[in-house]
Amino acid sequence: MASLTIRKLDDAVKTYLRLRSAKNRRSVEEEVRVILRELIEGREEPLTPFSAPPAQSTAPTPQRTGAAPEASVTLIIGGGIAAYKSLDLIRRLKERRVEVRCVLTKAAQQFVTPLAVSALSHERVYTDLFDPQSEFDAGHIRLARGCDLIVVAPATADLMAKMANGHADDLASAILLATNRKILLAPAMNPLMWNNAATRRNLAQLQRDGVVLVGPNSGEMAEAGEAGVGRMSEAIEIANAAERLLRPPVPKPLAGKRVLITAGPTHEPIDPVRYIANRSSGKQGFAIAAAAQAAGAEVILVSGPVDLDDPAGVTVKHVESARQMLEQVQAALPADIAIFAAAVADWRVANEGEQKLKKTSAGMPPLQLVENPDILATISKLTDKRPPLVIGFAAETEHLIDNAKTKLARKGCDWIVANDVSPATGVMGGDRNTVHLLSRKGGEIAVDSWPVMTKEQVAIELVAHIARSVTDKSREPAS
Ligand code: C5P
């Protein structure tokens, strides 16, 4: 196979390669390999004449989802009969969109071949500490830190002893000593070795050092007639344990809570083609809906006309006018939390034309306005189905806090999120918001001013406050 001399490339190409490889935490040589592979895999024509030789192994072929990996693991394969399960582990990790770079100890190579491991991982396999190809740029440091997690499977008694005592006389132990990433060990050894006082001491030390364990399981040993604790966990168990460390479950503080949200403007018809509207984009309300959904809540979003995609996992009721919005809000009750972020038109046209109004010589048609129902006030003042926490918004162009305090009292809600929407702030239709959270505290109104944030950050912060409040019994009920 021809080799490529990086030095002979154009400067621009070299710079690109250096930047790309640094960004991806790979050596330049590896980055070139990845680029070539991407190029070949992206081709329309079949790969057959150029594909890698089939591995001399009966191991299952990994699933190629084509999706970019989301995490990376350095997998250290120790020398034990269980090493064959590591071939399946590579496949299981790749199925979970984890990039796997493998290191084989000397003993591991007695059980699995670098060729099989490389064919499954689609990466080169690392075996030597003093490998000129990878050590010219401190390859063991890259393998130790250029990943999100280190998995050792099988973790033999010898590897555990080396780790517990800080040895670094081969590539595997040097990586384990040089890493600042979490380490997951899947021990595999004979039950007598597992129960040996030395292994127990090493294990206790490793656990104190923060190493995470999966297994070992109990069962039959490879040695005829032997059974006990020491069998390496199955590949799927190790992959699941790795996934829990790579993607820890997101806390769901609003699980079991029903959250009702209004968002966007309303359109109040003048005639079948014209309406009164405002500049609300709906972004803040939609961001709150997404954040509440991510926090585990069941979310019903009642939205006026907006140019936004429905947030995933949220029930969205699309409406036009204030009266339709009120109808949908009432239909969605009961709820644990109601957040009224919509910019509801205060007035609608009383004499809405059934046909399109015509220009006449008699002058402009008189538009009579009547007040719209105040959805926030209506729901806040309910006696039976009032949600325990009702939050309103106050979009003001002057005297922000004073007006918001008055609104809190007048509307009867529990909290008000006040924001300055004067044109200079760019809040209306923009992506950022500066808000103040007003809440009732022992007969007083507390004002919590937040720094300027994106509307998504405001939503996350508000949901975090809500989550704390629903678990905090000290929250005073609305007066
Ligand atoms: O009175 P103002 O429109 O400033 O009050 C703003 C708050 O009241 C917002 O939470 C808004 O969603 C809500 N509101 C409402 N129904 C209206 C007017 C305002 O729910 N008709």
Q: Is 278 a catalytic residue?
A: yes
Q: Which residues of 86-98 are buried (b: 16+ CB within 10 A; e: fewer)?
A: bbbbbbbbbebeb
Terminal alpha carbon distance of the chain? 80
* Angle at CA of residue 239, ends 104 and 252, nearest 5°: 145
Place of tokens 């490389």: 118
| pLDDT score at 363 | 79
Tell me, what DSSP letter sits at residue 138? Answer: T
Of 51-60, 118-127, 297-306, 453-462, which gets the smallest average pLDDT? 51-60
What band does 442 get if pLDDT is binned at 50, 70 and 90?
Answer: confident
Report d(CA 29, CA 18) in Å as an integer.
Answer: 10
Q: Minimum mean pLDDT among 118-122, 243-247, 368-372, 396-400: which range?
A: 396-400
Percent of the chain with pLDDT over 70: 86
- Mean pLDDT, residues 49-66: 34
CA-closest candidate to residue 102, choices 129, 131, 73, 80? 73
- Cα–ligand 1 centroid distance for 304 (angstroms): 13
Res. 300: pLDDT tops 90:
yes
CATH number of 258-348+367-471: 3.40.50.10300
Domain coordinates in residue numbering, the chain: 20-37+59-246, 258-348+367-471
For range 127-156, the mean pLDDT: 80
Question: How far, in Å, is the centroid of ligand 1 from the Cα of 444?
Answer: 22
CA distance to 114, 136, 172, 186, 388, per residue, from 162 (Å): 23, 25, 10, 15, 58
Question: Locate tokens 């991510």: which residue?
Answer: 294
**Ligand 1, residues 284, 374, 401: which to mutate, most atoms within 8 A of Cβ?**
374
CATH topology of domain 20-37+59-246: Rossmann fold (3.40.50)
Domain 20-37+59-246 matches domain 258-348+367-471 at the CATH topology level = yes
Residue for token digits 């132990």?
173
Predicted pLDDT at 474: 39
Q: Please state, in angstroms and rounded to a whole number, the distance separating the CA atoms of residues 252 and 326.
A: 29
Place of tokens 């070795």: 193
Q: How confident is the model at residue 63 (pLDDT cuts 50, 70, 90)?
A: very low
Q: Give residue 27's pLDDT band: very low, low, confident or very high (50, 70, 90).
A: confident
pLDDT over 50 at 56, yes or no: no
Mean pLDDT of 37-64: 40
pLDDT at 243: 95
Q: Which of 276, 339, 393 to mutate to test the pocket of ligand 1 (most atoms within 8 A of CB)?
A: 393
- Distance (angstroms) between ligand 1 centre and the Cα of 242 equals 48
Whether the predicted pLDDT of 430 surpasses 80: no
Displacement of CA 13 from its chain's centroid (Å)? 34
Q: Which residues line ligand 1 (CB under 6 A)?
A: 262, 322, 340, 342, 344, 346, 372, 374-376, 392-394, 407
Nearest ligand 1 atom to the CA of 392 is 10
The helix/strand/coil state of 333 is coil
Confidence of residue 286 (pLDDT cuts 50, 70, 90): very high
d(CA 12, CA 96): 36
